[in-house]
Structure 1
Amino acid sequence: MVPMRSRIFEVWAPRAGRVTLHLSGRPLAMRPADGREGWWRAEAAAGPGARYGFALDDGPVLPDPRARRLPDGPEGPAAVFDPAAYAWRHRWAGRGLPGAVLYELHVGTFTREGTFAAAAGRLPHLARLGVTHVQLMPVCPFPGRHGWGYDGVAPWAVHEPYGGPEGLQRFVDAAHGHGLGVVLDVVHNHLGPSGNHLPEFGPYFTDRHETPWGWAVNLDGPGSPEVRAYLIGSALAFLRDFRLDGLRLDAVHTLLDDSPRHFLAELSAAVDGHAAQLGRPLFLVAESDQNDPATTEPRGAGGRGLHAQWNDDFHHALHAALTGESQGYYADFARAPMAALAKTLTGGFFHDGTHSAFRGRPHGRPFDRAATPARRLVGYAQTHDQVGNRALGERLAALAGPERAALAAVPVLCGPFTPMLFMGEEWGATTPWQFFTDHQDPELAAAVRDGRRREFAAHGWAAGEIPDPQDPATRERSCLDWPERPELVWLWAWHRSLIGIRNAHLPHDLALADVSVRFDEDGRWLLADVGPLTLALNLADSPATVRVGPGSLTRLATTHRCPPPGRPGRLRMPPRSAMVLLRAE
């Protein structure tokens, strides 16, 4: 039995005239903290698991905004949790971004059990595949049992149905035992609508800015220094206490901040300092809709200093080329998809100041190709967003077939960018991944359901065709249907071979300028020189003969029946085929 010990309980509540700690049912008056405006403090004996909360001005007892554990969900009391009590089994020196191959997974659907423990049982599969980092979708508490996790309301805690904070520690420890790093998706741009008590404690939100979710997080108004510290403290706590290697930051373009120093620059400086203190590499990956190189440019050069950002333009170009889809934001890419793919491979962004028909205005800025490491962009053929935000949640293998899914893997895994796979992609999973929720508030559940139907009705879908997010069957359909032996599926072996080629031949310091591309829009073939590799893609339904440059080529991988390179410097490519070749120095 773990004995009780004296603990410090603190909370920021600058508007309150009186704050009471309720610990295991006992009220205890708190005192203003010396030298810390708006902070309240109390000291009391408590053991692990002891329930507690705070009452402001004799109001209802609310959970701690910095709760590390919420065993009864976001509306219940916090529980004392000591992250330092876990006995780590594996030493970990960290795995940085250079050379990384990311694997995005959602704990609740990676297995039907939907827990950290069940997901850990699949880690040997990922280690054999060759990925370097597991990237977990958000794990902070949210209402109900099942959901995507982007409506979390407690940025310091871990969703209890997944296994809670100790479950996350055990998962990370198991990953380290297989040589895998762990990255966590975190949401700083908003909190979910249900169970969000932060406005009762202080000015965590502001009406000075508006986001798709309503009022913005207060990053630049009165009280904002404490709000910024709240989010940065959460990020550092996850990196430290759960031995994570990095964080993926959701939709940073909605972190609206007019401060002299942007929140992202402050966060990246804190993470870099933390990495130096811990003596192991840490990195931040942004999701951004701005196509702005400043997101990943060093702080000393005027940038915000994040280490990488997702590249949706590369995804859109690749998707349009493989599927022919041209609706919505695919329209700009579908007009000349081979040209769009070539531009993203060599320049990073397709929209780098060009007109975006989807937005109705010019969009983005170009990179300095010579000075920009290609690893600062994350490249992918599928993500939770690009699959799950479709009306029916279809994956690429379901839309275009496994043959074209194999072609997509070549520029993703042997291309210049930091590659990322979405769970199940490696064996061509065709189970849908749909939008699902478990809101406990009936009015909120109805609003989400109706909003989803209205959104897709505008694109021609009948209401009855749109899966009900609240129906448990929607989550069940979205669970991976694992093959008995994934490694025996030919697509799994193909992905594994491409990762091996990447590890063996692609240097970590490739610049965007180290990539050159030739293509034929009508012939639907593309030839990309990426460092020492040549990637040949024939997306057409007819054979293609492609002229290659002088020098000998060694074939490293081919999808099927591709003859060896011809002596006159020509590649003969069957329909819908790909080759990866090594050029002689």
Structure 2
Amino acid sequence: MVRPVRLWAPNARAVDVITDAGRQPMQSEAAGWFITELAPGTTYSFSLDGGPARPDPRSAYQPESVHGPSQVIDLSRYSWRSAPEVGIDALTSVMYEIHVGTFTSDGTLAAAATRLPDLARLGVTMVELMPLAAFPGRAGWGYDGVGLWAVHEAYGGPEQLQAFVDAAHELGIGVCLDVVYNHLGPSGNYLAEFGPYFTDAHHTPWGAAINLDGPDSRPVRDFIIDNALRWFTDFRIDALRLDAVHALIDDSATHLLAELSDRVGELRASTGRPLRLIAESDLNDVAMVTPTSRGGLGMDAQWDDDIHHAVHAWLTGERQGYYADFGESTVLAKALTEVFVHNGTFSSFRGVHWGAPVPPDVDARRFITFTENHDQVGNRGMGDRPSERLPSSLVAGGAALMLLAPFTPMLFMGQEWSASTPFPFFTDHAEDELAHAIREGRRKEFAEHGWADLYGPDAAVPDPQDPATADSAVLNWDERTTEPHARMLQWYTDLIALRREYFGDGAHEQVVTPSFGDHWFAMRRGPLTVLVNRYESEVSIPDVSGEVVLSYCQPGTEVSRIDAGVSLPALSTAVLSSGAPTTF
């Protein structure tokens, strides 16, 4: 059965479709649209005004590469095992971010699906996939995608994504997909040849901005909105994480994010599934997660880097780069109680006053928190994880603060067992000039962020183009059964179980009341208190009640009670309970 294939090319006089059968003209429609009909399995390209063959901007399948021809695929032929109404809410989840290419040695969605039972046993209820949109080469983070409607072929293509989501839903795990609408990568980006997808009226760190508010911007906006909706429909994705939305510059009456929120809301109502939009934003502005009906941008949640920075800098003592304003106990307390550290205060890293306060009635679950993610590990000079520099007991302390706080927590793959593998930045570009530019860019960033002060003056940034760099990030799943990894895996499993037992879906006991000393910190939420001692000597913490339900101490030491308080050994973490969990 043939299917309609449509192309928007407003500047073209004529468009041909090129198949194995030859070159045929497409029928011209109004407003710059062209149409033809092709059967599933047909390989095809477009030629504008006799120009070179180009892949379809809305191609769902790029079997060869982002430079090669597209192929018609019928996504409706997949036979789903899970019910269509199945849906998992990101705002009640424990999330887990993975990079498909390094999550397993095979590096495919099919291989990743075999590890879903392990995540279910851990207590994970939402997997976040780093970008899958087709990008050049085999190895990469995915943020330089250019085939936004396709699934990277090296990961298994679109049908493997459907099967992955199906397997996840059967285990009660939702799937969030990371999508990038603020720019396209430099290699294989043919959008500008088809129409005014970009504008010089605005600029981003990647160059000209996506045309969201200029002439002919309506089809560009539809390109993005249609793309988002089809992940929910064709693939039954549960949530989308929108990359760097602050770079979606839109001066029109209705911001793209608000329009997208309303359209997803309509789909949510019609399907009954809790579809969610999660923004990555560094604006520290609660308008991002304020409903459109109240004048906001309507995102359901957003990543919160300030909490990560506050926890990381307090535990490690690092102050380089964007950690400059973080590290003090007072700052950690502010992050855990007020969401944003920079909520109208001066940011020395940015050189301006930044952010705005979060009203106390905003649901804390709208903020995604983490002690590791692809950025905070991968953008370090060596891609090293906190466990490379911290004793296990303090890594455990960061995990306890994250998982028992009222926010929506997210782990990064392998974090639960303190994986020894790093996660450096890596690419696979064939163009020599582009590969050189990427290498030089990483070296420059290494110097600008002061990483040499941390790693030493002779440290060399890993070569992003060297296949060994990507290989170094592949998780070693066998580590989980050896020490100290097995103990850490049990710690995370117990913490997640404790979170479920005491706080259910997270909507209860939202108040966090920390207290602290020079080297210790206490976070209290409902009947639970998290205690962390980063000092190399024992500390006495006053006015702490409850029984120890979990502890992670150095060998040969343990938490003990003292009058009206607790004695916490050096470099240790404990969780105390002063009452029974609420029945949900």
TM-score (norm 1): 0.94
Q: What does residue 540 of structure 1 align with? A: 535
Aligned ranges 1:333-348 → 2 under 5 Å: 333-334=326-327, 336=328, 338-348=329-339
* Equivalent of 1:421 in 411, 418, 430: 411
Q: What does residue 85 of structure 1 align with? A: 77
How much does 1:485 deviate? 4.5
Could you say if the C-alpha distance between residues 203 and 91 of structure 1 is closer, same or farther in structure 2, counting changes exceeding 3 Å? same
Q: Residues of 1 paired with 2:388 and 2:501: CA distance?
A: 31
Q: Residues of 2 paired with 1:434 and 1:51: CA distance?
A: 36
* Equivalent of 1:256 in 245, 249, 254: 249
Name the aligned partner's letter for residue 13 of structure 1: A
Q: What does residue 291 of structure 1 align with? A: 284
How much does 1:514 deviate? 1.7
Superposed CA deviations along residues 119-174 of structure 1, whole A, max 9, x for unmatched, are 11211111110110111000111000000000000111100011000111111112
Could you say if the C-alpha distance between residues 397 and 53 of structure 1 is closer, same or farther in structure 2, counting changes exceeding 3 Å? same
* Equivalent of 2:195 in 195, 202, 219: 202
Specify the SS of the correspondent of 2:341.
coil
Specify the SS of the correspondent of 2:4.
strand
How much does 1:270 deviate? 1.2
Q: Residues of 1 paired with 2:511 and 2:527: CA distance?
A: 9
Would you say 1:491 and 2:483 are equivalent positions? no
Q: Percent identity?
A: 50
Q: Residues of 1 paired with 2:424 and 2:90: CA distance?
A: 29
Specify the SS of the correspondent of 2:548.
strand
Would you say 1:38 and 2:35 are equivalent positions? no
Q: What does residue 310 of structure 1 align with? A: 303
Could you say if the C-alpha distance between residues 460 and 571 of structure 1 is closer, same or farther in structure 2, counting changes exceeding 3 Å? closer
* Equivalent pair of 1:347/1:366 in contact (CA under 8 Å): yes
* Equivalent pair of 2:424/2:470 in contact (CA under 8 Å): yes
* Equivalent of 1:59 in 51, 54, 58: 51
* Equivalent of 2:523 in 524, 528, 546: 528
- My pick for the range that moved more, 190-199 or 87-96, is 87-96
Specify the SS of the correspondent of 1:248.
strand
Could you say if the C-alpha distance between residues 75 and 128 of structure 1 is closer, same or farther in structure 2, counting changes exceeding 3 Å? same
Unaligned runs of 5+ in 1: none
Unaligned runs of 5+ in 2: none
CA RMSD of aligned residues (A): 1.8
Q: What does residue 356 of structure 1 align with? A: 347
How much does 1:356 deviate? 0.6
* Equivalent pair of 1:288/1:310 in contact (CA under 8 Å): yes
* Equivalent pair of 1:175/1:182 in contact (CA under 8 Å): yes
Number of residue equivalences: 569
* Equivalent pair of 1:506/1:532 in contact (CA under 8 Å): no
Q: What does residue 475 of structure 1 align with? A: 470
* Equivalent pair of 1:538/1:575 in contact (CA under 8 Å): yes
Would you say 1:408 and 2:398 are equivalent positions? yes
How much does 1:32 deviate? 2.2
Aligned ranges 1:139-218 → 2 under 5 Å: 139-218=132-211
Q: Residues of 1 paired with 2:514 and 2:28: CA distance?
A: 64
Superposed CA deviations along residues 453-512 of structure 1, whole A, max 9, x for unmatched, are 122234364687111111111111111122254497000000000000111111546489
Specify the SS of the correspondent of 1:421.
strand
Q: Residues of 1 paired with 2:120 and 2:83: CA distance?
A: 17
How much does 1:354 deviate? 0.5
Q: What does residue 222 of structure 1 align with? A: 215
Q: Residues of 2 paired with 1:118 and 1:101: CA distance?
A: 22
Q: What does residue 581 of structure 1 align with? A: 576
* Equivalent pair of 1:204/1:227 in contact (CA under 8 Å): yes
Specify the SS of the correspondent of 2:90.
coil
Could you say if the C-alpha distance between residues 437 and 415 of structure 1 is closer, same or farther in structure 2, counting changes exceeding 3 Å? same
Q: Residues of 2 paired with 1:414 and 1:196: CA distance?
A: 43
Name the aligned partner's letter for residue 540 of structure 1: Y
Name the aligned partner's letter for residue 577 of structure 2: L
* Equivalent pair of 1:96/1:281 in contact (CA under 8 Å): yes
Would you say 1:101 and 2:101 are equivalent positions? no
How much does 1:403 deviate? 2.2
Name the aligned partner's letter for residue 354 of structure 1: T
Aligned ranges 1:371-390 → 2 under 5 Å: 371-390=361-380
Would you say 1:14 and 2:10 are equivalent positions? yes
* Equivalent pair of 1:379/1:412 in contact (CA under 8 Å): yes
Name the aligned partner's letter for residue 371 of structure 2: A
Name the aligned partner's letter for residue 230 of structure 1: F
Q: What does residue 240 of structure 1 align with? A: 233
Q: Residues of 2 paired with 1:562 and 1:285: CA distance?
A: 40
Specify the SS of the correspondent of 1:62.
coil
- My pick for the range that moved more, 105-114 or 506-515, is 506-515
Superposed CA deviations along residues 382-406 of structure 1, whole A, max 9, x for unmatched, are 1100110111111010021322211
Q: Residues of 2 paired with 1:202 and 1:327: CA distance?
A: 43
Q: Residues of 2 paired with 1:565 and 1:492: CA distance?
A: 27
Superposed CA deviations along residues 179-208 of structure 1, whole A, max 9, x for unmatched, are 211111000000000000100001100001
Q: Residues of 1 paired with 2:100 and 2:506: CA distance?
A: 32
Would you say 1:273 and 2:266 are equivalent positions? yes
Name the aligned partner's letter for residue 374 of structure 1: A
Specify the SS of the correspondent of 2:566.
strand
* Equivalent of 1:506 in 484, 503, 506: 503
Name the aligned partner's letter for residue 576 of structure 1: L
* Equivalent pair of 1:545/1:570 in contact (CA under 8 Å): yes
Name the aligned partner's letter for residue 350 of structure 1: V
How much does 1:525 deviate? 1.4
How much does 1:302 deviate? 1.4
Would you say 1:563 and 2:559 are equivalent positions? yes
* Equivalent pair of 1:12/1:40 in contact (CA under 8 Å): yes
Name the aligned partner's letter for residue 419 of structure 1: P
Q: Residues of 2 paired with 1:228 and 1:154: CA distance?
A: 16
Q: What does residue 433 of structure 1 align with? A: 423
Specify the SS of the correspondent of 1:483.
helix
How much does 1:297 deviate? 1.1
Aligned ranges 1:112-127 → 2 under 5 Å: 112-127=105-120
Could you say if the C-alpha distance between residues 318 and 71 of structure 1 is closer, same or farther in structure 2, counting changes exceeding 3 Å? same
**Structure 1 ranges of 4+ moved more than 6 A:** none
